[in-house]
Every structure is written in C-alpha cells, then in structure tokens.
Structure 1
Amino acid sequence: MTSEWYASIEAAHPDFRKNWIRHRFNEGHLAKILQAGTTLEARDATFRIVSGLADSRAFSFVATNPNLGSFYLRHQGYRIKLHQSDGSDQFKQDATFIFTPPLAYEVAQEPAGCSLRSYQWPNYFIRHINRELWLGKTDASEQFKWDASFHVRPGLYPT
C-alpha cells in the first residue's frame, strides 16, 4: 500500500501527553519520554511502520533496535508483545493492525490521531491500562475511547 516510514506513537489523552508506546522486556508499554534523542527509551519508542504482514492494506510495527532483528509488535493472550516473526499465518495476523479514526473523537472531538484496530478481530483495539498495552474489545466508555486513541508522530530516535 505504502512505503515504510519511522514513527513514534503518543497517547492522545491530554493527561498522557509525552507518553509513548514502547517495548520493554518484550512487552508493549506506555512510557513518559520528554524529548527525542539517542536514548534507549527513544529507540524503543520508535518503530518502522511497514505494510501489514497479513494484509498489505494494513500495517505492522517493527522494532528499530538493531540488536533485535525483525521483531514486531503483536497481540498474544490480549497482551501487546514484541516477538520475532515465526512466519506463521497466526503471527502475521497477530502483528497486523489497521489505522482508524481516533475513538476519542466521539468524546472530545479530538480530530487528529488514530486508533489501532486488530486486523483479525475488528472490534478490538490497542489500548493502555496502567501503562501496559493490551488488545481490548471496544465498549462505549469514555475511558476506553481515550485509552485507545493515539497520535502518530515523527520517530523519537533519529533514523
């Protein structure tokens, strides 16, 4: 669909500005990172966004740390994790997401940003709970809508 690019993904809720999706110990987290730079935190919060492994109309997120090789964000047991691709159809589906308009738009008319919907489970979105990233089934609550809304920004780590 499109060429790859490098980006960092920031929580959309005003109380969580400067909180970024990052991987740590092979799990997805939300971490406060105040500025871009060459720190490990900035690198772990910068992803190479590529055509989806299961569907080229969607997207997959690859870690940019050169020590990791081709490790992708994926969901497993509803938890967002960072794993190396095993090439299976299951992995490809788990590691493929669709950018949608932000769910928070319904709450605060937040026009910018996006939500990240699971490719294989259309009613499930990446969300943060206690700074951990999970795949959650959408509900009508304002809390869920904010927790599942993000801004895609230029990568925090120079590429």
Structure 2
Amino acid sequence: MSISRRSLLQVSVASAVMGGIGAPAEAPAQPVDISTRFRSWNYRDRFVRHRNFQVELDPVSYSSSELDQLDATFLVREGLEPYGGVSFEARNPNLKGYFLRHQDFRLVLHKRPPSGSPELALFRKDATWQRVPGRADRSNPDYQSFVSVNFPRRFIRHPNFHLFLDEIDEAKQLDRDDATFIVEKGFKPL
C-alpha cells in the first residue's frame, strides 16, 4: 500500500498541531464549494471579513450593508495546494479569483496569479489551510481552527481584530480563543 503526499501532509499537520495536547487526531470534514462565514469564538458579534484587501474581524449582521455581508462571506474551495485542505475565495462577485492568503504572516486578500506565473506555487501554499478542531473547544465540529500548510505550527489568529498567521501557546486561553472560529452558513448564499 502506498501513501500519498496528501495523506502524509495531513498526518504531519495533524501531528504538529495535536502533538502532546490530547486532542483528537482527526480534523473536521472538509466540504467544499459552499458559502461560509467565520464568527469569532471570543467576540461573537464579529466575523472575518476583508476590507481594502486586509483581513479583519469586524461586527457584521444581517442588518449590515450588502457590501459588508459580501465581504464577510467566503466560498470554501478545495485547497489550491495539491496536498489537500481548503482555500477561501471572496464571495463578492467583483472579486472572483481573490483568495485569503498570508503574506509576511498577515492575512490579506489577493488575486490568484495566472497559470505559469512564478508566483503561483507560493500563492497556492499561502492560500491553503488545514482545518483542525477548534483550539478553544473541540466538542463541536463547527468550532474550527485553521493551520497553514506551509507553516504547520501557525494558526489563523486575530490579535487586536487583525488576522495573522501566528503560533499559539496552548497553555494560554486567549491564544486558543483567538485561533478558534465558529463556521456558519454565509451571509450571502451561492
């Protein structure tokens, strides 16, 4: 029996994230091509959204403007990197082909480079995430954390309401809370 590169990456990410903390070794299911929003675990009125190509945590609701709702909704896609995982494309129809990625450990919204571009390989890695059980609470599959495929010990996290790729200290409740999101149906469906 041969083991695929995708399986090896999933095992290595799970091992790096779960190692020594007694968490289940299995990540939540990874449905794709769905409209999703990401509610902050510790600021329940705030959602991940993009504004001016920066990724922030802002208050958004169904009474917010159409633009705010679109900017806080993402399409979950199969990971751009062939090892698996998921990628998050902007739901706004004016930003088709724009994905959440990290650059210098800051989350930003960037347009996917064209095929054959020298930037494409790095972009695909920077825009692909492994879902793992939420660091603050592993009891519900809708509570999730996201680990970078090219920095497998770094999580999406929101210090001061700005999203970064950061290592977390599992002993610190604030670190775990800032790296946990409640995954819900998007403000704007497909």
1:48-93, Cα deviation, whole Å (9 max, x unpaired): 1000000362000000111122000000001000000115110000
Q: For residues 58 and 43 of structure 1, what CA distance do their matches in structure 2 show?
A: 23
Q: Which residue of 2 aligns with 1:133?
A: 163
Secondary structure in 1 aligned to 2:57?
strand
Shift in Å at residue 130 of structure 1? 1.0
Q: Which residue of 1 aligns with 2:51?
A: 24
Point out the structure with the larger strand share.
Answer: 1
Q: For residues 110 and 44 of structure 1, what CA distance do their matches in structure 2 show?
A: 29
Residue 5 of structure 1, aligned match among 34, 42, 53: 34
Shift in Å at residue 39 of structure 1? 1.4
CA contact (8 A) 1:20 1:33 kept: yes
Normalised TM-score (structure 1): 0.89
Mapped pair 1:96 → 2:128? yes
CA contact (8 A) 2:32 2:86 kept: no
Q: Residues 68 and 116 of structure 1: is their aligned pair in 2 closer, same or farther, counting only changes over 3 Å? A: same
1:91-113, Cα deviation, whole Å (9 max, x unpaired): 000000011000002xxx66341
CA contact (8 A) 1:55 1:96 kept: no
Q: Residues 2 and 150 of structure 1: is their aligned pair in 2 closer, same or farther, counting only changes over 3 Å? A: closer
Q: For residues 74 and 21 of structure 1, what CA distance do their matches in structure 2 show?
A: 13
Runs (4 or more) in structure 1 with deviation over 2 Å come to: 34-38, 109-112
Letter in 2 for 1:12: W
Mapped pair 1:49 → 2:80? no
Point out the structure with the larger helix share.
Answer: 2
Shift in Å at residue 158 of structure 1? 3.6
Q: For residues 143 and 68 of structure 1, what CA distance do their matches in structure 2 show?
A: 33
Secondary structure in 2 aligned to 1:130?
helix
CA contact (8 A) 2:131 2:145 kept: yes
- Select the structure of larger CA radius of gyration: 2
Shift in Å at residue 150 of structure 1? 0.3
Fraction of identical pairs, as percent? 32
CA contact (8 A) 2:55 2:163 kept: yes
After the TM superposition, which of the residue ranges 27-36 and 75-84 deviates more from structure 2?
27-36
Normalised TM-score (structure 2): 0.76
The answer for unaligned runs of 5 or more in structure 1 is none
Secondary structure in 2 aligned to 1:49?
strand
